[in-house]
A = this chain, B = another copy of it.
Amino acid sequence: MRNLDEFTITQEALRRLEETPDPRLKQIMASLIRHLHDFARDVKLTEEEWLQGILFLTRTGHLCTDVRQEFILLSDTLGLSQLVVAQSHSRPEDVSEQTVFGPFHVEGAPKLPTHGCDLAAGIEGEPLFVTAQVLANGEPVADAEVDIWHADAEGFYDVQEDGWAVDDARLRATFRTDADGKLSFKTILPKSYPIPTDGTVGEMLAATKRSPMRPAHIHFKIDKEGFDPLITHVFREDDDYLDSDAVFGVRGSCIGAYEPHERGTTPFGEEAEDRFYTLDSRFVLHPLS
Protein backbone atom coordinates (compact mmCIF):
# COMPACT_ATOMS: atom_id res chain seq x y z
CA MET A 1 0.00 0.00 0.00
CA ARG A 2 1.19 3.49 -0.89
CA ASN A 3 -0.38 6.96 -0.68
CA LEU A 4 -1.64 6.23 2.83
CA ASP A 5 -3.45 9.13 4.42
CA GLU A 6 -3.98 9.80 8.13
CA PHE A 7 -6.97 7.43 8.14
CA THR A 8 -5.99 4.56 5.83
CA ILE A 9 -2.60 4.20 7.51
CA THR A 10 -4.22 2.63 10.58
CA GLN A 11 -5.66 -0.30 8.64
CA GLU A 12 -2.35 -0.83 6.86
CA ALA A 13 -0.39 -0.75 10.15
CA LEU A 14 -2.80 -3.32 11.61
CA ARG A 15 -2.50 -5.48 8.47
CA ARG A 16 1.26 -5.67 9.03
CA LEU A 17 0.60 -7.51 12.32
CA GLU A 18 -1.11 -10.39 10.57
CA GLU A 19 1.84 -12.77 10.83
CA THR A 20 2.50 -12.17 14.54
CA PRO A 21 2.90 -15.66 16.07
CA ASP A 22 1.97 -14.76 19.66
CA PRO A 23 -1.76 -13.94 19.80
CA ARG A 24 -1.39 -11.90 23.00
CA LEU A 25 1.36 -9.75 21.49
CA LYS A 26 -0.77 -9.30 18.37
CA GLN A 27 -3.71 -8.15 20.51
CA ILE A 28 -1.57 -5.69 22.49
CA MET A 29 0.16 -4.25 19.41
CA ALA A 30 -3.13 -3.84 17.54
CA SER A 31 -4.75 -2.01 20.44
CA LEU A 32 -1.64 0.13 20.93
CA ILE A 33 -1.61 1.16 17.26
CA ARG A 34 -5.34 1.93 17.26
CA HIS A 35 -5.14 4.09 20.38
CA LEU A 36 -1.90 5.79 19.37
CA HIS A 37 -3.34 6.72 15.97
CA ASP A 38 -6.66 7.79 17.49
CA PHE A 39 -4.81 10.04 19.92
CA ALA A 40 -2.76 11.69 17.15
CA ARG A 41 -5.89 12.25 15.03
CA ASP A 42 -8.06 13.41 17.95
CA VAL A 43 -5.72 16.26 18.83
CA LYS A 44 -4.49 16.71 15.23
CA LEU A 45 -0.94 16.38 16.51
CA THR A 46 1.44 18.65 14.57
CA GLU A 47 4.93 17.75 13.40
CA GLU A 48 6.45 20.13 15.95
CA GLU A 49 4.42 18.61 18.79
CA TRP A 50 5.35 15.13 17.59
CA LEU A 51 9.03 16.09 17.71
CA GLN A 52 8.61 17.52 21.22
CA GLY A 53 7.11 14.18 22.22
CA ILE A 54 10.02 12.25 20.65
CA LEU A 55 12.56 14.43 22.47
CA PHE A 56 10.60 14.13 25.76
CA LEU A 57 10.70 10.33 25.53
CA THR A 58 14.40 10.44 24.58
CA ARG A 59 15.30 12.60 27.59
CA THR A 60 13.18 10.34 29.79
CA GLY A 61 15.17 7.33 28.57
CA HIS A 62 18.47 9.08 29.15
CA LEU A 63 17.48 9.79 32.78
CA CYS A 64 16.98 6.08 33.45
CA THR A 65 19.85 4.36 35.22
CA ASP A 66 20.27 1.35 37.52
CA VAL A 67 18.89 3.46 40.36
CA ARG A 68 16.49 5.86 38.65
CA GLN A 69 13.48 4.86 36.55
CA GLU A 70 11.93 7.97 35.01
CA PHE A 71 9.59 5.93 32.76
CA ILE A 72 8.07 4.28 35.85
CA LEU A 73 7.69 7.73 37.41
CA LEU A 74 6.01 8.94 34.21
CA SER A 75 3.67 5.95 34.20
CA ASP A 76 2.94 6.55 37.90
CA THR A 77 2.11 10.24 37.40
CA LEU A 78 -0.10 9.53 34.37
CA GLY A 79 -2.15 7.11 36.47
CA LEU A 80 -1.16 4.13 34.31
CA SER A 81 0.70 2.23 37.03
CA GLN A 82 -2.13 2.30 39.56
CA LEU A 83 -4.63 1.42 36.80
CA VAL A 84 -2.63 -1.70 35.93
CA VAL A 85 -2.20 -2.62 39.60
CA ALA A 86 -5.93 -2.19 40.22
CA GLN A 87 -7.01 -4.40 37.33
CA SER A 88 -4.41 -7.06 38.10
CA HIS A 89 -5.50 -7.89 41.64
CA SER A 90 -9.15 -8.64 42.13
CA ARG A 91 -9.11 -10.56 45.41
CA PRO A 92 -11.06 -11.14 48.59
CA GLU A 93 -11.63 -8.03 50.68
CA ASP A 94 -9.73 -9.33 53.69
CA VAL A 95 -6.47 -9.56 51.70
CA SER A 96 -4.06 -6.59 51.76
CA GLU A 97 -4.43 -4.16 48.89
CA GLN A 98 -1.72 -3.64 46.27
CA THR A 99 -0.28 -0.24 45.39
CA VAL A 100 2.18 1.07 42.84
CA PHE A 101 5.77 -0.14 43.09
CA GLY A 102 7.32 3.28 42.50
CA PRO A 103 10.77 3.99 41.07
CA PHE A 104 12.91 3.63 44.22
CA HIS A 105 12.99 -0.07 45.00
CA VAL A 106 16.37 -1.70 44.47
CA GLU A 107 17.38 -5.32 44.54
CA GLY A 108 19.98 -6.37 47.07
CA ALA A 109 19.06 -4.30 50.12
CA PRO A 110 20.87 -5.36 53.33
CA LYS A 111 19.47 -8.54 54.84
CA LEU A 112 18.91 -7.74 58.52
CA PRO A 113 17.95 -9.80 61.57
CA THR A 114 14.20 -10.15 62.06
CA HIS A 115 14.05 -8.04 65.20
CA GLY A 116 15.80 -5.11 66.78
CA CYS A 117 17.75 -3.40 64.00
CA ASP A 118 17.95 0.36 63.49
CA LEU A 119 17.74 1.32 59.80
CA ALA A 120 18.29 4.98 60.58
CA ALA A 121 21.53 5.02 62.57
CA GLY A 122 22.99 8.48 62.12
CA ILE A 123 20.05 9.81 60.08
CA GLU A 124 18.08 12.69 61.52
CA GLY A 125 14.40 12.27 62.16
CA GLU A 126 11.81 11.32 64.74
CA PRO A 127 12.26 7.74 65.97
CA LEU A 128 9.71 5.22 64.69
CA PHE A 129 9.38 1.65 65.94
CA VAL A 130 7.68 -0.62 63.42
CA THR A 131 6.21 -3.98 64.25
CA ALA A 132 4.53 -6.01 61.54
CA GLN A 133 2.92 -9.40 61.09
CA VAL A 134 2.33 -11.33 57.87
CA LEU A 135 -0.76 -13.54 57.78
CA ALA A 136 -2.73 -15.70 55.37
CA ASN A 137 -5.97 -17.57 55.97
CA GLY A 138 -5.85 -16.34 59.55
CA GLU A 139 -2.48 -18.02 60.21
CA PRO A 140 0.98 -16.41 60.57
CA VAL A 141 3.27 -16.74 57.55
CA ALA A 142 6.76 -17.63 58.78
CA ASP A 143 9.92 -17.05 56.73
CA ALA A 144 8.31 -14.58 54.35
CA GLU A 145 10.78 -12.17 52.72
CA VAL A 146 9.85 -8.58 53.55
CA ASP A 147 11.51 -5.70 51.71
CA ILE A 148 10.98 -2.26 53.17
CA TRP A 149 12.10 1.12 51.86
CA HIS A 150 11.20 4.73 52.56
CA ALA A 151 12.35 8.33 52.23
CA ASP A 152 14.23 10.32 54.88
CA ALA A 153 12.86 13.30 56.80
CA GLU A 154 13.72 15.55 53.82
CA GLY A 155 11.82 13.31 51.40
CA PHE A 156 14.84 11.75 49.68
CA TYR A 157 15.55 8.10 49.09
CA ASP A 158 19.15 6.96 49.46
CA VAL A 159 19.38 6.09 45.74
CA GLN A 160 18.83 9.74 44.83
CA GLU A 161 22.32 10.61 46.07
CA ASP A 162 24.99 11.01 43.39
CA GLY A 163 27.19 7.97 43.08
CA TRP A 164 24.99 5.80 45.28
CA ALA A 165 25.83 2.10 45.41
CA VAL A 166 23.96 -0.68 47.13
CA ASP A 167 26.53 -0.67 49.95
CA ASP A 168 25.28 2.84 50.78
CA ALA A 169 21.77 1.53 51.44
CA ARG A 170 19.90 3.31 54.21
CA LEU A 171 16.25 3.30 55.21
CA ARG A 172 15.87 0.11 53.22
CA ALA A 173 16.30 -3.51 54.28
CA THR A 174 15.18 -7.08 53.74
CA PHE A 175 13.83 -9.14 56.65
CA ARG A 176 12.49 -12.66 57.11
CA THR A 177 9.48 -13.13 59.33
CA ASP A 178 9.79 -15.27 62.46
CA ALA A 179 7.67 -18.29 63.37
CA ASP A 180 4.80 -15.95 64.32
CA GLY A 181 5.01 -14.13 60.95
CA LYS A 182 6.45 -11.12 62.77
CA LEU A 183 9.29 -8.69 62.36
CA SER A 184 10.30 -5.39 63.94
CA PHE A 185 12.75 -2.59 63.30
CA LYS A 186 13.55 0.95 64.28
CA THR A 187 13.69 3.74 61.71
CA ILE A 188 12.59 7.38 61.41
CA LEU A 189 9.13 8.75 60.79
CA PRO A 190 8.53 9.17 57.02
CA LYS A 191 7.39 12.58 55.80
CA SER A 192 5.40 13.67 52.79
CA TYR A 193 7.73 14.62 49.94
CA PRO A 194 7.80 15.71 46.30
CA ILE A 195 8.65 13.09 43.70
CA PRO A 196 11.83 14.02 41.78
CA THR A 197 11.12 17.14 39.75
CA ASP A 198 14.54 17.55 38.15
CA GLY A 199 13.66 15.37 35.14
CA THR A 200 11.06 15.09 32.42
CA VAL A 201 8.29 14.14 34.86
CA GLY A 202 9.05 17.36 36.72
CA GLU A 203 8.73 19.27 33.42
CA MET A 204 5.33 17.67 32.85
CA LEU A 205 4.11 18.44 36.37
CA ALA A 206 5.30 22.05 36.12
CA ALA A 207 3.69 22.57 32.71
CA THR A 208 0.36 21.26 34.03
CA LYS A 209 0.73 22.98 37.44
CA ARG A 210 0.33 19.65 39.19
CA SER A 211 1.53 19.01 42.71
CA PRO A 212 4.51 16.64 42.94
CA MET A 213 3.67 15.73 46.55
CA ARG A 214 3.20 12.23 47.87
CA PRO A 215 1.77 11.55 51.32
CA ALA A 216 4.25 10.06 53.80
CA HIS A 217 4.58 6.28 53.61
CA ILE A 218 6.73 3.21 54.01
CA HIS A 219 6.91 0.71 51.13
CA PHE A 220 6.51 -3.01 51.85
CA LYS A 221 7.12 -5.82 49.39
CA ILE A 222 6.32 -9.27 50.75
CA ASP A 223 7.21 -12.51 48.99
CA LYS A 224 6.46 -16.05 50.07
CA GLU A 225 6.25 -19.10 47.86
CA GLY A 226 2.64 -20.12 47.24
CA PHE A 227 1.27 -16.59 47.69
CA ASP A 228 0.70 -13.66 45.33
CA PRO A 229 3.58 -11.21 45.94
CA LEU A 230 2.28 -8.20 47.85
CA ILE A 231 3.55 -4.71 46.99
CA THR A 232 2.01 -2.06 49.16
CA HIS A 233 2.48 1.12 51.19
CA VAL A 234 1.60 2.08 54.75
CA PHE A 235 0.51 5.74 54.73
CA ARG A 236 0.16 8.15 57.65
CA GLU A 237 -3.45 8.95 58.44
CA ASP A 238 -2.78 12.60 59.34
CA ASP A 239 -1.17 13.47 56.02
CA ASP A 240 -2.31 16.49 54.01
CA TYR A 241 -1.73 14.76 50.68
CA LEU A 242 -3.75 11.56 51.04
CA ASP A 243 -6.30 12.82 48.52
CA SER A 244 -3.86 14.37 46.06
CA ASP A 245 -1.10 11.76 45.83
CA ALA A 246 0.92 12.59 42.69
CA VAL A 247 0.90 8.91 41.72
CA PHE A 248 -2.75 8.11 42.63
CA GLY A 249 -1.65 5.33 44.99
CA VAL A 250 -3.59 5.84 48.24
CA ARG A 251 -5.92 3.06 49.43
CA GLY A 252 -7.95 3.63 52.56
CA SER A 253 -7.02 0.15 53.73
CA CYS A 254 -3.31 1.03 53.48
CA ILE A 255 -3.44 3.86 56.03
CA GLY A 256 -1.66 2.84 59.22
CA ALA A 257 -1.79 4.14 62.75
CA TYR A 258 1.53 5.88 63.38
CA GLU A 259 1.06 6.54 67.11
CA PRO A 260 2.99 9.33 68.83
CA HIS A 261 4.35 8.77 72.34
CA GLU A 262 5.68 11.76 74.27
CA ARG A 263 8.18 9.71 76.31
CA GLY A 264 8.46 6.35 78.06
CA THR A 265 9.53 2.81 77.22
CA THR A 266 9.92 2.03 73.53
CA PRO A 267 8.99 -1.35 71.99
CA PHE A 268 12.73 -2.09 72.04
CA GLY A 269 12.74 -1.63 75.83
CA GLU A 270 14.68 1.64 75.79
CA GLU A 271 13.66 4.59 77.93
CA ALA A 272 12.98 7.58 75.63
CA GLU A 273 13.22 11.20 76.84
CA ASP A 274 11.86 12.59 73.56
CA ARG A 275 8.87 11.88 71.41
CA PHE A 276 8.83 8.63 69.45
CA TYR A 277 6.30 6.91 67.22
CA THR A 278 5.10 3.35 66.88
CA LEU A 279 3.44 1.61 63.95
CA ASP A 280 1.92 -1.86 64.13
CA SER A 281 0.89 -3.27 60.72
CA ARG A 282 -0.70 -6.47 59.54
CA PHE A 283 -0.42 -7.76 56.00
CA VAL A 284 -2.63 -10.49 54.63
CA LEU A 285 -1.35 -12.48 51.65
CA HIS A 286 -3.47 -14.06 48.93
CA PRO A 287 -2.74 -17.77 48.40
CA LEU A 288 -2.10 -18.77 44.80
CA SER A 289 -4.56 -21.51 43.93
The chain A residues found within 8 Å of chain B, CB to CB, are 1-6, 9-10, 12-13, 16-17, 19-22, 25-29, 31-33, 35-47, 49-50, 54, 57-62, 64, 69, 71-72, 75, 78-88, 204, 207-210, 242-243, 245, 248, 250-252
In the bound assembly, the distance between CA atoms of A116 and B129 in angstroms comes to 81
Kindly report which residue of chain B lies nearest to residue A4, judged by CB atoms: B248
Decide yes or no: A242 and B85 within 8 Å by CB, A16-B208, A43-B31 being known contacts: no
Decide yes or no: A57 and B54 within 8 Å by CB, A3-B252, A10-B79, A209-B21 being known contacts: no
Q: Which B residues touch A71, using CB under 8 A?
A: 54, 57-58, 61
Q: Is the interface of A mostly helix, strand, loop or mixed?
A: helix
In the bound assembly, the distance between CA atoms of A47 and B44 in angstroms comes to 31
Q: Which B residues touch A85, using CB under 8 A?
A: 47
Q: Are B58 and A64 in contact (CB under 8 A)?
A: yes
Nearest CB of chain B from residue A287's CB, rounded to whole Å = 18
Nearest CB of chain B from residue A200's CB, rounded to whole Å = 10
In the bound assembly, the distance between CA atoms of A25 and B25 in angstroms comes to 31
Q: Are A43 and B20 in contact (CB under 8 A)?
A: no
